[in-house]
A and B are shown apart, each in its own frame.
Chain A
Amino acid sequence: MFQIGFDDSGNIVAEGRLDAAQAPHAQEFLDAVAGDCVLDLGKLEYISSAGLGVLLRTHKRLMDANHGLRLVNVNHHINDIFMYSGFDKLFQIETGESSQ
């Protein structure tokens, strides 16, 4: 199960499993965001390369407009994937307490 939406502070929150079947849903949502965005991944359990593609596509679009996507509360499994993928050099990433 995967869900994406805004929290009360205006941050984007993604929950569950962002796999290849759910990537189009995530992309549709993120295609509608603008400006400097914070994506809270504290409740995201899993991401595959399809989800990485969604994040990269969104970040590039926002960066073209001098903004970007900041990834926060990243758990250690997902942070490992980000590191392997070189995303730590492309995104501002903040890990969650449980990943310390």
Chain B
Amino acid sequence: MQQEFGRSLNKLKNIVDFTDNFFAAHDIDPSVRYIVDLCVEELFVNMVTYDTETKTDILIEMQPHERGVEVSLTGFGVERFDPREVDPVDVDAPLEQRTPGGLGLYLVLKMVSSIHYEYRDRNSKITFIADRK
């Protein structure tokens, strides 16, 4: 199942509807739903926020994968950005050293079972697998 979404945070509710439809159409453990929702949002928001040189839609693809889901997000005509290379977040830092932001991709890397990055012809594709732990 796949669908393209415009580069707006207002599209998040449409992405949730798309994910609802995907889970309704497949027999997938509902325990992975939160992981899928969170990882898709964090990656989508990151693409919307930082890939500002393009207005092309973002393609989201989902397919069943063993005990979970394989999800891909593709941005077209963008710079390379590999989410696996982001700086780590010190989640043990005291409150005075913590600042809002930076947790999104950290959470993605923490929650997915695997993540793959592909950059070709200025198209940036992130694929992750979310499955039952």
Contacts and interface: CB of A to CB of B under 8 A. Distances in A.
Interface of A: 17, 19-21, 46, 48-50, 52-54, 56-57, 59-60, 63, 77, 80-81, 84-86, 89-90
A19 B12 CA distance: 8
A50 B101 CA distance: 7
B107 A21 contact: no
A84 B110 CA distance: 8
Given A17-B16, A21-B13, A84 B41 contact: no
Mostly, the A contact residues are helix
A90 B16 contact: no
A90 B95 CA distance: 6
Nearest to B102: A49
B107 A20 contact: no
Contacts, number: 65
Contacts of B41: 19-20, 48
Given A19-B41, A56-B98, A85-B107, 6 more contacts: A48-B45, A49-B103, A56-B99, A56-B100, A84-B110, A86-B93
B110 A20 contact: no
Interface in B21-43: 34, 37-38, 41-42
Given A81-B107, A89-B92, A46 B9 contact: no
B77 interface: no
A21 B14 CA distance: 12
A53 B103 contact: yes
Contacts of B96: 60
A38 to B, nearest CB: 18
Given A46-B34, A53-B101, A53-B103, A20 B12 contact: yes
Nearest to B99: A56
12 contacts: A20-B12, A46-B34, A46-B37, A49-B42, A49-B102, A53-B101, A59-B95, A60-B95, A60-B96, A84-B106, A85-B107, A86-B98
